Chain A
Amino acid sequence: MKAERCKTKASGVGSGPVFLAGAIAVLLVGLCGVTRAQTDCLSCHADKTLQDASGNSVGVDGDKFHSSIHGSLSCSDCHTSIKEYPHPDKLEPVKCATCHADQAKAVGGSIHDGTSPHPCTSCHGDAHAIFPKDDPKSAVYPLNIPRTCGNCHANEALAKKYGLQNVYATYMDSIHGYAVSKEGLLVAANCMSCHGSHNILSHKDPKSTVSRANVPDTCGACHGGVKEEYLSGIHGKSLAEGNTKVPVCTDCHTAHAILQPTEASFRMQSTPICGSCHKDQLATYRDTFHSQLGLLGGYVETARCWDCHGAHGILPASDPASPVNQANLIKTCGRCHADANASFVKYQPHANPHNRKLNPALYFVRLFMNLLLWSVLSFFTLHTLLWFIRAKKEESKKGPAAEEKHD
């Protein structure tokens, strides 16, 4: 009834009671002010099939809008260019920045600046059904974020257009994705946890939360203990000094797939990652039994880099706290070799048989074995070839039956 009256008043049609006074009247007008505009507009726009000249739907679900966070606003609060009815076909785009100035500013400086059709609704969803981020109905509710970002980022064509990897599926299969999608864990890392929200920057931008220098802090926001460990290690210290070539969390764990480190696939892929910088160490490791059996698979327990050197807080061997410090070798090797003893740990896991200065004994052993191999094989290959040719000649001279015939 109230609405009816208001509508009449607002449209200026008819001659209902105009003069109302007192607190009740003020309240009524206030309330009607909200609903007046909505109801006016909804008289047309409640029709879900309503389209504008270019064929876009302009229908609005009034109930849904009413329950949304913006439900108390009138249409014209956002659609400010509508001053009268009928309104023009083409309207100014809604400026969320009028109220959300900070967020708009952040988006403006982000990689998503200028996203079409609208930088806000691309993530927050239907403009007329925006809910607070802690409401499960919200497109940016933690559990809904992967799907929301996936709207664009799982899109092959889009990924190709912007030269992005399609990481949606990778993320969803990861421990983080699993925790979000299967366990409904609100604290599990979703896209936003690492990339931020309005201020998302390319990982190449040093200010990005996922730039190399910032990755430990970003992951450390949840994995605080590991971050401490990492920062105490040689890689973490070097990163703090500004060397972004050192490995950060994502180099080993990857950004989206995040494999379980005990998984075979992780153990199989990790050694070359360390080896991409530590080339000599990888080459000498490749010469060892550890590597040989590790590469064949099915025996993933075999020692990889971090089994001996540690993973997050890697220290130089000279540091007494390092697992590969001379004093700790029996314990470290003993983790696999139960009966490791002082003489056993004299084994050099990175001995180089080609380096005469560092490993003279090994160098000469290898040299001797190679000389033996090549001299024996060269002599007998030649010997056998000459013999074979000669025997063939004899055979053809005397006829095939002439040579030894037996069984």
Chain B
Amino acid sequence: MTEDTGTIPSEQPASAEPERFYVRFTLAQRYQHAILFTSFLGLAATGLPMRFSDNAAARAFASAVGGFGAILFFHKFCAIVLTLAFLYHLKDIATRVLVHKEKGLLWGPNSMVANWKDVKDIVGHIRWFLGLGPKPKFDRFAYWEKFDYWAVFWGMIVIGFSGYAMWFAPFFAHFLPGWALNAVLVVHGEEALLAILFIFSIHFVNTHLRPGSFPMDMVIFTGKETEEEFKKKRTLEYERLAKEGKLEARAGDKPVYWWVNFAKVIGFTAILIGLVLLVLTLIGYFGTP
């Protein structure tokens, strides 16, 4: 990608130590996140009017974009895009595990799989919130990041399956019991509601809007973070890499300006749309008897 062409000037005055950057996400991972959030925004924007179809704003939006037909078409389009991204992700995991034999992907500090340390971290973190203990040190993926990942993973399976079951109901009816045809809409709607409420409030605040990351954690867009940030947010990983002498292998170039600015525009737009949808969702949820 273009931002890789931006390099840190090597001739820095000795007095000013150049800011060092480390790679956290690969380009493919960043693309997956971008496709995930754009299609998710599309799905949420078109799914919410259906879920709250007796809400005046939902109807106004639906009629503005061409009624239900247009809404469902766009919803299905985004669903296919997200499904493809999900399948790509599964393929990526499978390749890394089966072909590249990356055992660390399934267990250990580089894995998304939850472990005992995550449990201790939850307790420790909450104790710190309450002023009862020190702030825990986190490794590559903190427990709330793992939760975000698995919530999306589970959500895509649940929402995806129930969605396709409705889309191709006569086909799915061959092997689903009668009540399941009713249940899929409930499951689809409730899980989607959970996803929307979670992403647009919890994920936004935890990852982007909380002090320390406010207004936006750019690492998912640039793929890189400063050494200071790395050390502070993922202390254990930094220390582990430093100890193993693997820190240099993770070093990356400073992200170029235009890319950062471009990502900011995209990111803030996404957050803004998300927050608007969050408000509408809450109105829809609590405004409906």
Contact = CB atoms under 8 A, between A and B. Distances in A.
Interface stretch (A11-19, A317-325, A377-385): A377-385
Contacts of B49: 296
B193 A337 contact: no
Say whether chain B's binding surface is mostly helix, strand, loop, or mixed.
helix
A376 interface: yes
Interface string B210-235: 11110000110000011011001100
B202 A353 contact: no
A307 to B, nearest CB: 16
Interface string B44-88: 000001110110001100110011111110000000000000000
A56 B140 CA distance: 101
A344 B170 contact: yes
Interface stretch (A174-182, A187-195, A387-395): A387-395
B129 A292 contact: no
A407 to B, nearest CB: 6
19 contacts: A292-B50, A292-B53, A295-B59, A296-B49, A298-B63, A299-B68, A346-B177, A347-B178, A348-B182, A353-B186, A359-B179, A362-B183, A365-B186, A365-B187, A380-B206, A381-B202, A384-B201, A384-B205, A405-B229
Contacts of B69: 298-299
B194 interface: yes
Nearest to B70: A298
A297 B66 CA distance: 9
Given A296-B67, A299-B68, A406 B187 contact: no
A302 B53 CA distance: 14
A373 interface: yes
Given A369-B187, A387-B206, A291 B233 contact: no
Nearest to A353: B186
A308 B3 CA distance: 59
B270 interface: no
Given A289-B185, A369-B190, A406-B229, A297 B202 contact: no
Contacts of B99: none
Contact of A404 (B66, B193, B201, B213): B213
Contacts of B50: 289, 292-293, 296
A337 B229 contact: no
Residue of A295, A297, A366, A407 with highest tally of chain B CB at under 10 A: A407
Interface of B: 49-51, 53-54, 58-59, 62-63, 66-72, 125-126, 128-131, 144, 147, 151, 166, 169-171, 173-174, 176-183, 185-187, 190-191, 193-194, 197-198, 201-202, 205-206, 210-213, 218-219, 225-226, 228-229, 232-233, 255, 260
Given A361-B179, A365-B187, 8 more contacts: A288-B185, A296-B50, A297-B67, A348-B179, A351-B182, A369-B187, A394-B211, A407-B255
A322 to B, nearest CB: 19
Nearest to A395: B211
Interface in A252-308: 286-289, 291-299, 302
A386 interface: yes
B170 A341 contact: yes
Contacts of B233: 404
B228 A376 contact: no
Please classify how large the interface on chain A is, using the bins under 10, 10 to 19, 20 to 34, 35 or more. 35 or more
A contacts with B: majority SS: helix
Nearest to B197: A377
A372 interface: yes
B181 A346 contact: yes
A106 interface: no
Closest 7 CB pairs of A and B: A298-B67, A346-B178, A369-B190, A299-B68, A386-B129, A344-B173, A296-B62
A362 B182 contact: yes
A289 B229 CA distance: 47
A297 B129 contact: no
Contacts of A394: 211
Contacts of B212: 391, 395, 403-404
Contacts of A296: 49-50, 53, 58-59, 62-63, 67-68, 71
B211 A403 contact: yes
Nearest to A289: B185
Which one of A286, A346, A392, A405 has the greatest number of beta carbons of chain B within 10 Å?
A: A346
B285 to A, nearest CB: 10
A340 interface: yes
A389 B129 contact: yes
B198 A380 contact: yes
A98 interface: no
Given A341-B173, A346-B181, A347-B181, A297 B59 contact: yes
A298 B186 contact: no
A366 B188 CA distance: 11
A339 B210 CA distance: 51
B53 A295 contact: yes
Nearest to A406: B229
B250 to A, nearest CB: 16
Interface in A322-377: 337, 339-341, 343-344, 346-348, 351, 353, 359, 361-362, 365-366, 369-370, 372-373, 376-377
